């Protein structure tokens, strides 16, 4: 069969990499080109947009869109990766911050910022992803970049944990935002969970669960593709 050009909206579970999702799908495409718009770390879950056929030429259009995330963080600890999968660098013996202070600090991050990309990211230097260099114990200079937090909404804060939702510009690293929040509250913080809920107008409620993709044959998979014309109408 000739696989349709378009977008496949995937609800990625925590655990597999974005490339794992591609590997599950690619053998069913009959040779059609495939790519994705925006890497999700193994820890992260949520919306991953897979581009098929001619849709791969629209990668920049999709990746340049705002994103919406739901994030959970843990106060009093810093790790080398910026999330709970990493090696602990520092812990704080200070009492858990008061929830009112946490809410005030998180809300205060709305607006424009300069943000330094983390070493554990897919950003490339001389063609090599930074996370590969970080795994080799290397650190390279990264230039701060402008990012925009369109809005940020605290959801809860209790003890040494808190969660929030945020809409941000393309290129914003949530793990870096979490570390900045931890520094502002005092005692540090690291990300414990992350879900991407939307990329531009594409939302997670329209996505196919990633685990289900492995069970679909080529015909069934083709039925889940959002046609190119409809996606960019």
The active-site residue, picked from 41, 83, 160, 211, is: 41
Residue 5: active-site member: no
Concatenated DSSP letters for the chain? --PPPEEEEEEEPSSS-HHHHHHHHGGGSTT--EEESS---TT-EEEEEEEEGGGGGGHHHHHTS-EEEEEEEEESEEESSSBTTS-EEEE--SPPPPHHHHHHHHHTT-EEEEEPPPSSSS-EETTEEHHHHHHTT-------EEEEEEEEEEEEEETTEEEEEEEE-TT--HHHHHHHHHHHHSS-EEEEEEEEEEETTEEGGGPEEHHHHTT--HHHHHHT-EEHHHHT-
User: Which residues does the annotation mark as catalytic?
Assistant: 41
């Amino acid at each position: 069969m000739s696989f349709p050009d378009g977008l496949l909206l995937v609800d990625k579970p925590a655990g597999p990499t974005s490339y794992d999702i591609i590997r599950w799908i690619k053998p069913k495409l009959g040779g059609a080109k495939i790519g994705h718009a925006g890497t999700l770390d193994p820890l992260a879950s949520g919306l991953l947009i897979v581009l098929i056929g001619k849709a791969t030429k629209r990668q920049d259009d999709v990746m340049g869109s705002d994103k919406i995330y739901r994030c959970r963080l843990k106060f009093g600890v810093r790790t080398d990766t910026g999330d709970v999968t990493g090696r602990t660098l520092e812990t704080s013996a200070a009492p858990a911050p008061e929830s009112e202070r946490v809410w005030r600090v998180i809300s205060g991050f709305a607006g424009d910022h300069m943000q330094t990309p983390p070493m554990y990211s897919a950003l490339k230097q001389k063609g090599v992803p930074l996370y590969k260099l970080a795994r080799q114990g290397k650190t390279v200079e990264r230039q701060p970049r402008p990012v925009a937090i369109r809005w940020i909404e605290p959801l809860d804060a209790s003890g040494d944990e808190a969660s929030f939702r945020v809409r941000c510009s393309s290129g914003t690293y949530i793990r870096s935002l979490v570390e900045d929040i931890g520094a502002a509250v005092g005692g540090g913080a690291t990300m414990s969970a992350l879900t991407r809920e939307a990329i531009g107008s594409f939302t997670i409620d329209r996505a196919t669960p990633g685990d289900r993709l492995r069970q679909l044959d080529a015909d069934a998979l083709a039925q889940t593709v959002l046609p190119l014309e409809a996606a960019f109408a």
